[in-house]
Amino acid sequence: MSNNLKPIPLVFWRSVTGREPVREWLNELSREDKRTIGRDIAKVQFGWPVGLPLCRPLSGGLWEVRSALPSRREARVFFGFHDSMLIALHAIIKKTQRTPIEELTLAKQRLKEVQSWRGRTRT
């Protein structure tokens, strides 16, 4: 990690009904898997910019944190930036080599929604 003393703040995307799907997804994982993903996200927060193998740009301002879990699975947390914050938009356990297009589409839709918050207060 770099010598940045202050991490980039992390915010979970929240639906209009108040749900935070990434937080809910994390809560369903084992303690060890949560810890691994948390450490990987912290590396991004404290060491930005971070490249492969941990972090990869996708398209349109979308990025992914790539975590190899103790449970021998691969996790991806999709994020973007808004107002100097890292926004966790969507997360999956990878089941195939290619990320399903519907998962990327959902993350991109959420990122567009976040970008439309400009100038508006969101609670």
Where in the chain does DSSP place strands (E)?
A: 10-12, 55-57, 63-68, 74-82, 85-94
The tally of CA atoms less than 13 A away on the side-chain side of residue 115 is 12
Quote the pLDDT of residue 117.
Answer: 72
- Domains of the chain, residue spans: 10-115
Q: Kindly give the residue spans of alpha helices, DSSP state H, lying in 1-123.
A: 21-27, 31-47, 101-115
* Burial readout 80-103 (b: 16 or more C-beta within 10 A, e: otherwise): bebeeebbbbbbbebeeeebeeee
Quote the pLDDT of residue 3.
Answer: 53
Quote the pLDDT of residue 118.
Answer: 59
- CATH domain 10-115 topology: YaeB-like fold (3.30.2310)
Whole-model pTM? 0.90
Quote the pLDDT of residue 123.
Answer: 46
Residues of the chain with pLDDT under 50: 1-2, 119, 121-123
Quote the pLDDT of residue 107.
Answer: 98
Quote the pLDDT of residue 81.
Answer: 95
